Amino acid sequence: MARSSRKPMSEINVVPYIDVMLVLLIIFMVTAPMLTQGVKVDLPQLESSPVNMEKDQEPLIISVDSNAAYYLESGENTGKPMELTVLQEKVSNILKQNPKVSILVRGDRHVEYGVIVALMASLQESGATGVGLVTETP
C-alpha cells in the first residue's frame, strides 16, 4: 500500500461559513419588516408642517384606533390596549421622570371627536404642556 506524500492541510475552509452567513442574512432581511410593531390607524390626510423635536429624544406616541382603544407606544406596552385612566397614570409617571418628552397623538380618522378630546384632557391632567397630532400628507 502506497502512502500519500501530501501534508495535512492547516488552513480553514471558509466556504461553508460564507454560505451560512448568506442564509442568515437572507433570513434577517425577510423577517426584519415583520418585527415592526404598532397599531393600525387610518390617519387623516392634510397639509401640515413638521413638529420640531429634540434630536436625541424619542417622542411618546399615543394611538387611538377606530374602536376607540388607547395604545401607549413605548417599551413593553406597545400593542396592548388600555383604559384611559391607566394611560393617564402611565403618562404621568413618564412626565415625572422626563418633563421635556414630546407627546404625539395618532388618532384614526373614523374615531369620534369626543374620544380624542377626552384623551387630550386626560393628557393635560397628567401634566402635558403640549401635544402634537400626527397626520399623513395627501
In a domain, 33, yes or no: no
Q: What is the pLDDT of residues 2-60, one digit of tens each?
A: 666 777 777 888 888 999 999 999 998 888 877 665 556 665 666 666 656 566 678 88
The domain tally of the chain equals: 1
Contact residues for 100 (Cβ-Cβ < 8 A; gap 6+): 54, 57
Phi-psi map region of 33: left, alpha, beta (phi>0 left; psi -120 to 50 alpha)? alpha
Domain of residue 72, residue span: 60-133
Looking at residue 135, its amino acid is: T
Within a domain: residue 81? Answer: yes
Residue 53 lies inside a defined structural domain of this protein: no
Residue 118 is assigned to a structural domain of this protein: yes
Other CB atoms within 10 Å distance of the CB of residue 92 = 15
- 99: domain CATH number is 3.30.420.270
Q: Which three cell numbers stand for residue 73?
A: 407606544
Decide if 26 is inside a domain.
no
Does the predicted model carry a pTM greater than 0.75? no
Find cell 407606544 and name the residue.
73
For position 48, what pLDDT does the model report? 63
Residue 49 lies in a domain: no
Tens digit of each residue's pLDDT (9 = 90 or more) over 104-115: 888 888 888 888
> Does 27 fall in a domain?
no
8 Å CB contact between 134 and 61: yes
